[in-house]
Amino acid sequence: MEPVALREYSVTGERDRRRMSSDAADARRAAKGDPEAFERLYHANVARVHSLARRMLGEQDADEATQDAFVRAWEKLGLFRGDAAFGTWLHRLAINLFLGRRAKRAKDWERMQGGQELVEVAGGKREGLELHIDFEAAIGRLPSGAREVFVLHDVEGYKHHEIADMIGVTTGTTKAQLHRARMALRRYIER
Amino acid sequence: MTDVWTDRLSEYLDEELSASEREALEAHLPECSACAQALGELRRVAARTGALEDRPPADNLWPGIAARIAHKGEAAPRGLGRRFTFSVPQLVAAAAALVMLTAGGMWLALHSGDGGSSLAVRPAGTQGQPVSTAASNFDAAVTDLQRMLNERRDQLDSATIRVLEENLAAIDQAIAEARAALSEDPSNSYLNQHLATTMWRKVHLLQRAATLTGGAT
């Protein structure tokens, strides 16, 4: 599986630039074994990583998965070359970790292959409590395959061919999964 | 609501249809209320998705991460292929800073009115491993590092050993005080976090000292 282009943080102003510079300096210190620098990197990046984990893996697994991502990042810091922003590097590392974690879930994998029923049900009747469920929680209710594609494409901004490379499927599959996810999420949008 | 165009609506939104397909779909929409409605809803899904904001976890996950990193017994991340070199003044400064941090943390913990419980921190070890496991990991890491240091003690000069022992004693005292305070208030999240951080700092100091002897790289 070929690595895909790293998606950079969008830099919108001086504050973002200072943050990236600060992260880069802390990454260098952490790579030399400075735990306080790594703790600062944790606080600066945990919201993004935890949100990714929550959306890809669900609320229940998000804390543990986030911890795993930061521990893995600590182990791999020596490989961070600074070509991309630290946040970008960390985010990509987390995506790979979470995708691997998902792959171990045999049950979810089955749901991914056989998720049609769930999506069709979701796209049918719209009455009931579902209307009141938080949109974030609704993402977590998507069948596993559709959820990862939706998060990576619509939330994280990856392209279909990038996602197809990450997951090991065709772009036809990612497009189908994305459409199913969006159709299922319509019921959670207030009208 | 299923016709030939229903499953192409996302591609239409994402501008992935060919010009002819796009033209055909746009001709179809005024005649198909179901597709037109679905397209409007998909646009709202896209707008709602674009408004998603990142939010941090409800609990502070750092103590659990710190404990796991310490347990790994690594002085530095893998892949560096090098060792630290410290002068005695550097070691003194680092150790003094650690002692100040631990002592200051204990003072805050013991003198704050509510025991620091207002801080949104989960007790150490509850992030993926129980407290007893975290403590066990810590003890194992400390035992290994101290054994390594003892074996290579003759590679350190007497001044370094003295500074190291003085500051390890201070950290041990801080750990003992934190444990004593926790025995009175086991659910105090600040104390739990402080204990985990102090334990981790001890491991880190031992790791750095071990590195001076050529071990624990």
pLDDT at A123 over 60: no
Contacts of A70 in chain B (CB under 8 A): 61, 65
Please give the share of chain A, as a percent, with pLDDT higher than 90: 48
Number of Cβ pairs < 8 A linking chain A and chain B: 115
The larger pLDDT score, comparing residue B119 to residue A79, is at A79
Among chain B residues, CA nearest to A40: B62
Q: What is the pLDDT of residues A21-73, one digit of tens each?
A: 788 889 988 988 888 999 999 999 999 999 999 999 888 889 999 999 999 99
B-interface mutation test, from A185, A187, A191, most B Cβ less than 10 A away: A185
pLDDT at B19 over 60: yes
B16/A79 touch (CB, cutoff 8 Å), yes or no: no
- Of A129-138, B106-115, B191-200, B206-215, which gets the smallest average pLDDT? B106-115
Q: Coil, strand, or helix at residue A82?
A: coil
pLDDT at A169 over 80: yes
A175/B16 touch (CB, cutoff 8 Å), yes or no: yes
Mean pLDDT of B119-136: 45
User: Residue A91: CB partners within 8 Å, gap ≥ 6?
Assistant: A7, A48, A49, A52, A156
* Tokens 């005649």, residue located: B31
Nearest to A67 among B41, B68, B79 (CB): B68
Contacts of B44 in chain A (CB under 8 A): 186, 189
Mean pLDDT of B200-211: 74
Q: Which residue type occupies B22? A: R
Q: Which pLDDT band holds residue B13 (cuts at 50, 70, 90)?
A: very high
Contacts of A75 in chain B (CB under 8 A): 72, 74, 77-78
Which B residues, 110 through 149, put their C-beta within 8 Å of a C-beta on chain A? 127-128
Return d(Cα A58, Cα B164) in angstroms, integer: 45
- Give the mean pLDDT of chain B: 71
Contacts of B48 in chain A (CB under 8 A): 135, 185, 189
- Give the mean pLDDT of chain A: 80
Number of C-beta neighbours around residue B11 at 10 A: 18
By residue count, chain B amounts to 217
User: Residue B70: CB partners within 8 Å, gap ≥ 6?
Assistant: B137, B138, B141, B199, B200, B203, B204
Q: Determine the pLDDT at residue B65.
A: 93
Q: What is the pLDDT of residues B156-197, one digit of tens each?
A: 766 677 677 777 877 887 888 888 888 877 877 767 777 777
Contacts of B64 in chain A (CB under 8 A): 67
Range from A108-117, B106-115, B181-190 that averages highest in pLDDT: B181-190
Q: What is the pLDDT of residues B34-65, one digit of tens each?
A: 999 999 999 999 999 999 999 999 999 999 99
A33/B76 touch (CB, cutoff 8 Å), yes or no: yes
Q: Determine the pLDDT at residue A108.
A: 46
